[in-house]
């Protein structure tokens, strides 16, 4: 996150691209208190980021309800390959 100066307005020291990088940690509740507060202040100011977080919440809720046992062997293999390839990609 950018340097949070004492005179900066809450929500203005985080950029939208940084929020995208932090959204999973935010939704899982693992951000430190100052970063969480700054992210939440940004959400109050930025409708696009607020919508993005809302969509991610919905996605996580929906994906969280798919039982692993319901996946075919082929689907499970494809997902594992995709995650393995993604982890190795230069982001």
Please state the rounded mean pLDDT for residues 21-32: 91
Is 42's pLDDT higher than 60? yes
- Reference 46, options 10, 22, 21; nearest CA is 10
pTM: 0.61
Is 87's pLDDT higher than 60? no
Domain boundary assignment for the chain:
16-88
Is 91's pLDDT higher than 70? no
CB atoms near residue 46 (< 10 Å): 18
Please state the rounded mean pLDDT for residues 63-76: 79
Residue 65 pLDDT: 67
Residue 50 pLDDT: 95
């Amino acid at each position: 996150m950018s340097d949070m100066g004492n005179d900066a307005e809450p929500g203005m020291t985080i950029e939208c691209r940084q929020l995208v990088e932090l959204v999973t940690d935010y939704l899982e509740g693992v951000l430190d208190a100052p970063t969480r507060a700054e992210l939440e202040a940004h959400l109050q100011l930025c409708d696009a980021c607020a919508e993005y977080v809302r969509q991610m919440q919905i996605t996580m809720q929906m994906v969280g309800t798919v039982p692993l046992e319901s996946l075919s062997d082929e689907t499970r293999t494809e997902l594992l390959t995709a995650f393995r390839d993604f982890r190795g990609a230069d982001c």
